[in-house]
Structure 1
Amino acid sequence: MTLSRRVPLLVLAASLSFTSLASLAAPAYAQSDADKATARMLGQEGQTALDAKDYKTAEDRFRRAESLYHAPTLALGLARALAANGKVVAAQETYNRIIREGVAPGAPAVFVKAVEDAKTEVSAVSPRIAGVTITVAGPDSPKVTLDDTQVPSAALGVRRPVDPGAHVVRVSADGWENAEQKFNVVEGGSATVPITLKKAAAAPIAAVPATAQPTTTTAPATDTTASADTGVASHSSQKTIGWVVLGVGAAGLVTGAVTGFLALGKHSDLENSCPNNTCTSAQQSDIDSFHTMGTISTIGFIAGLVGVGAGTVLILTAPKTTTAQGPSVTPYVGLGTLGAVGRF
């Protein structure tokens, strides 16, 4: 008996016309008259395609008809088309469904015959079914697909029925590299597909700008070109400025003291030369010199006091550094000279 063995079109059409007996077929669906008419037409087209060995069209028409009107005759046509297309796993399940559902007493004879044909034909399909055993090593919960159909984890590591021919297994998991393996299996054959996933390479960490990260390198206190991140340059600069200002202030005090001393000497000379505070024009240059000395002394004292005060504040408020030796400024006064010597 061949799979293309046909149910005569007139018998098939007649079986679908027994609407009063629809309730006798195993599980009946709620169909409208239009659905029944459409199913009858599709069943006839499916049988014609099956007889012409146009199995793809036959499968399509019987599948549509069976979805509109559930009858063993239509399911049998679908099973035959599936088997002819090499879809033996689905064909076997369709045959078994026809057998499992059976028909109720009093059902049309064509329905009874469809069940008996299913029992006979399924035995020719079952040996053609192949099998594959898929194993996955690596992740605990991999996602596995066989021909883009997900394979439950319970079906891994055991033989799974497949149609003969070419297949593709794809496996993925979080933190693991995707894997794909193709295999081919003949009718009634078996295949084993072991897949081992590799850990995905860690994503590279983006470089962070240096200005956003503190550095652990401590620059010498004397290095005024150190980066702003270390804080050393700013600490050293403040202290250095403090010593310079202090030295300048000290020099100002010395200047004020020296010129003040000279101004006092001029004043004493003028008192001797100008009785009753009355001076001649000959003493005018001495008077101008006395006033100049007094002015310089006053300015020197004021600038010196401000410098010493400001320098002291800068030095005392400068942050501590780890340098072993800090900067120093030493004022000096010489004959005709005034200045400061510093070490930074």
Structure 2
Amino acid sequence: MGSERARGRARRTLVAWLLGVTTIVAADAVAYAQSKTERDMARALMDEGDAKVEKKDFAGALRAYRAAHAIMGVPSTGIEVARTEEKLGHLVEAHKAALEVANMPVKPGEPKPFTDAREAAKQLAAQIESRIPRLTVVVRGVPESAPVEVKIDGALLPSEAARAAQPVNPGKHEVSAAATGLPPVSKEIEIAEAQRLQVTLALGDAAASDDGSGNAGRRLSPLVYVGFGVGGAGLIAGAVTGGLSLSRAGTVKELCPAGTCPTQAALDEATPVNDSAKTLANVSNVAFALAVVGVGVGVAGIFLSGGEPKKSPEATSVRLQIGPTGIGLVGRF
């Protein structure tokens, strides 16, 4: 706080010196206030800014310093604008203001506070530059040559700079993109000091495939639906036919205990039942084998899934067709 008061006293001394100047070369007149009234106003504004800084009212101080700098346009007023912008976290604006002061041309016979302010501005600009975050907006779903409107906090970026890293202030920002014939998309992001952040905005088909987490949507291969469909159907068919086979085998055992039929009538009755049990057992074995193959195909489909066009589950179907003497697959792919 002591340094703030010291700077305030130095500025008041400088303004008093300016007020005492009665003859200024015409070429240098624009470097100073145009009239005593304006100089008085600038001095009052600088005092107001100093008072608000002491109260930590940096927004109010910035308004006062900007107004004074608009009147005076000298390094000692400009440096206070830059310093206050930096206190508010406006690193981009602070860097720009500091560079403007640092690049102000040296006037013949200018007072030392002007030279000191110019040097301080150079140091401030260098110190702030490394702290400024950079934001890169990547737009998916449109050709690189297609015109795209990219905005940060509602401000349209020039087309030639839209794909380059943009300096922004730390904090929250809204990023949006739009292209002809496609609905606009927007995203709120937060960025820290010195951070380098890339934000992807998806338009059109790219937006439809986006899973909402910032990554491209993963498309499942039809093999997943076919494989697990066959696997599930095979398990069901194997269980059903296996159960029927065991039931028929039990009937045969009742008719012919220990594998021997006591009468011709029992043999005649047991023979077709036994044949059916064997057929169903074979069908069950085949169904379970298909279930194993189907699950394997489904797992392979998961690993092979990628960017190929996605079929809906309704477009791909498969079912087992079981007959008295065999088993088959019927499907639509």
What band does the TM-score fall into relative to the shorter chain? Answer: 0.5 to 0.7
Call closer, same or farther: CA 1:24–1:17 in 2, change over 3 Å.
Answer: farther
Query: Is contact 1:24-1:105 (8 Å) kept?
Result: no
Residue 30 of structure 1 deviates from its aligned partner by 7.5
Residue 184 (1) aligns with residue 178 (2): no
Partner Cα distance (1:137, 1:124) in 2: 35
Residue 109 (1) aligns with residue 112 (2): yes
Q: Deviations over 1:158-216 (max 9, x none)?
A: 211111111111222331111101111111111111112117xxxxxxxxxxxxxxxxx
Map 1:244-259 onto structure 2 (within 5 A).
none
Query: Is contact 2:33-2:39 (8 Å) kept?
Result: no
Partner Cα distance (1:144, 1:110) in 2: 43
Query: Is contact 1:102-1:115 (8 Å) kept?
Result: no
Partner Cα distance (1:88, 1:74) in 2: 18
State the partner residue of 2:62: 59
Residue 40 (1) aligns with residue 46 (2): no
Call closer, same or farther: CA 1:75–1:159 in 2, change over 3 Å.
Answer: same
Query: Is contact 2:170-2:193 (8 Å) kept?
Result: yes
Query: Is contact 1:46-1:57 (8 Å) kept?
Result: yes
Give 3-state SS (helix, strand or coil) of 1:178's partner: strand
Query: Is contact 1:138-1:196 (8 Å) kept?
Result: yes
Residue 11 (1) aligns with residue 21 (2): no
Call closer, same or farther: CA 1:21–1:88 in 2, change over 3 Å.
Answer: farther
State the partner residue of 2:73: 70
Q: Which of 144, 148, 151 is 1:145 aligned to?
A: 151
State the partner residue of 1:159: 165
Count matched residues: 200
Map 1:92-131 onto structure 2 (within 5 A).
92-131=95-134
Residue 102 of structure 1 deviates from its aligned partner by 3.9
Q: Which of 164, 168, 174 is 2:180 aligned to?
A: 174
TM-score by length of 2: 0.54
Partner Cα distance (2:164, 2:195) in 1: 15
RMSD: 2.9
State the partner residue of 1:136: 139
Partner Cα distance (1:195, 1:59) in 2: 35
Residue 2 of structure 1 deviates from its aligned partner by 11
Unmatched runs of 5 consecutive residues or more in structure 1: 200-344
Which residue identity does 2:74 align to in structure 1?
A: A
Call closer, same or farther: CA 1:61–1:165 in 2, change over 3 Å.
Answer: same
Give 3-state SS (helix, strand or coil) of 1:128's partner: coil
TM-score by length of 1: 0.52
Residue 29 of structure 1 deviates from its aligned partner by 7.4
State the partner residue of 2:200: 194
Partner Cα distance (1:125, 1:83) in 2: 8
Call closer, same or farther: CA 1:40–1:111 in 2, change over 3 Å.
Answer: same
Give 3-state SS (helix, strand or coil) of 1:101's partner: coil
Unmatched runs of 5 consecutive residues or more in structure 2: 206-333
User: Which structure: larger Rg?
Assistant: 1
Which residue identity does 1:150 align to in structure 2?
A: L
Call closer, same or farther: CA 1:33–1:174 in 2, change over 3 Å.
Answer: farther
Map 1:183-262 onto structure 2 (within 5 A).
183-198=189-204
State the partner residue of 1:230: none
Query: Is contact 2:150-2:157 (8 Å) kept?
Result: yes
Query: Is contact 1:43-1:62 (8 Å) kept?
Result: yes
Call closer, same or farther: CA 1:144–1:31 in 2, change over 3 Å.
Answer: farther
Query: Is contact 1:15-1:108 (8 Å) kept?
Result: no
Give aligned-pair identity as a percent.
29
Give 3-state SS (helix, strand or coil) of 2:31's partner: coil
